[in-house]
Structure 1
Amino acid sequence: MTRHGKNCTAGAVYTYHEKKKDTAASGYGTQNIRLSRDAVKDFDCCCLSLQPCHDPVVTPDGYLYEREAILEYILHQKKEIARQMKAYEKQRGARREEQKELQRAAAQDQVRGFLEKEAAIVSRPLNPFMPKAATLPITGDQEYLPLVWSLGGGFLKCILQLLPPTDGEQPGPSVGPLGKDKDKALPSFWIPSLTPEAKATKLEKPSRTVTCPMSGKPLRMSDLTSVHFTQLDDSVDRVGLITRSERYVCAVTRDSLSNATPCAVLRPSGAVVTLECVEKLIRKDMVDPVNGDTLTERDIIVLQRGGTGFAGSGVKLQAEMSRPVMQA
């Protein structure tokens, strides 16, 4: 069978290439793409700025950052946590005041119901020649006279203190001019949080822990370790290092470092060595070859590196974008 062209439509088989091309053109289905070398961060670049580090530091998980960038991120996250905590405390105080108002209103309703029931009790004989008490106009303190006779003035004074003061007849919520607070509460159909169907969101208590932007684990300034790369050529300045593909070497074996070379950072000295050097030389004595300090397993930090763009590099470099799927 002869080889078909990419745009050939005479074949009886719907090929894989035609399927991928039609999927990309239709706008439906999940798209997968293998990242190339140009989309991969170098091992000596900051995880935040994606630029070669001038003063690099490493976290206990092996993520490399520029010192200025990671300290600025930590301070920004602390300010954001303080802002969220302030908003949470404000909402919590508003809910507490709302609960107090509801309890106060419930207590007043109970007192009013008690007074209405006690006012209906008559402790003196009725005059058959006088109209009923319900038809007599009640003004001033005459409404509570039967209660005074039955309970005494001292107990009534305590109950009346619970009632709000009344200065004449108060208008209802629908009477009177429109207030300023009601103007602010008008619904808005173009802002999602102000629509009539929108409900007040309940803020959760924010965590006070500052986390690493890459690993998501708790991070403190004291956890950062300074990193000292060994340059391939000491005479080259920093600008010249950026243009070179091979910039640094192992501090012990002088092997060139790249994304294809697994590296580790020794915590006492901050020197960068290859993992091969760690396994063959350093783990035998557990002594830092740069300054002679004793090492532990915690002092050997494996440096996180990017991929090389090759399929067999051991790093998954595949980007995936989910899109709607046509249902049959």
Structure 2
Amino acid sequence: MTRHSKNNTASSVFTYAEREKLKYGTQRGHMACKECFYENILAQKRDIARNIKLAEEQQKADELERANKGAQAQLALVKEFEEAQMNGSRSTRSAGSEGSPSMQEEADRKPKVFRMTAEAIAARQEMERQQALEKMDKDAAEKGKAKLPSFWIPHLTPEVKASNIDTSKTQPVCTGSNPPHAI
């Protein structure tokens, strides 16, 4: 049947003029109502704002936890130092012994001066703090091994740690296209 003006679009084959009209505009357009687009964009913006807020809260909590662990490590180092001083302050010599003459000669010599820079002291303290943190983590892991998780006992139910929140998405994207592009 031939084409005429009444059923020009009834054919499954495009005419040259129809093909030329298709080149106008985007080939990847999407049909939807304006309200749906706006609703989707607003929902994405709310999610982005919520994720950023949650990420900031999680970062603050992580910093607080690190500070608490650092304080606990410092307390452990101080306690260890005090114990070493208490144990080391007891004299191993008897009260009546004066020491050998060779020890007195060594004492009369020019004393050796122990010099250490401030950077070396700070590095040494940081190294000791890191070792104390590692020891605390190791002890906590060993304590955790003793307690086996149990689904049926509420206080032994395993806990899920919060995962890092993805903050890479900073602007709404078109969800109808593949790959998604920024709006």
Please state which band the TM-score falls in when normalised by the shorter chain. 0.3 to 0.5
In terms of fraction of residues, the more helix-rich structure is 2
Could you state the TM-score of these two structures normalised by the residue count of structure 2? 0.46
- Greater RCO, 1 or 2 (C-alpha within 8 Å, sep 6+): 2
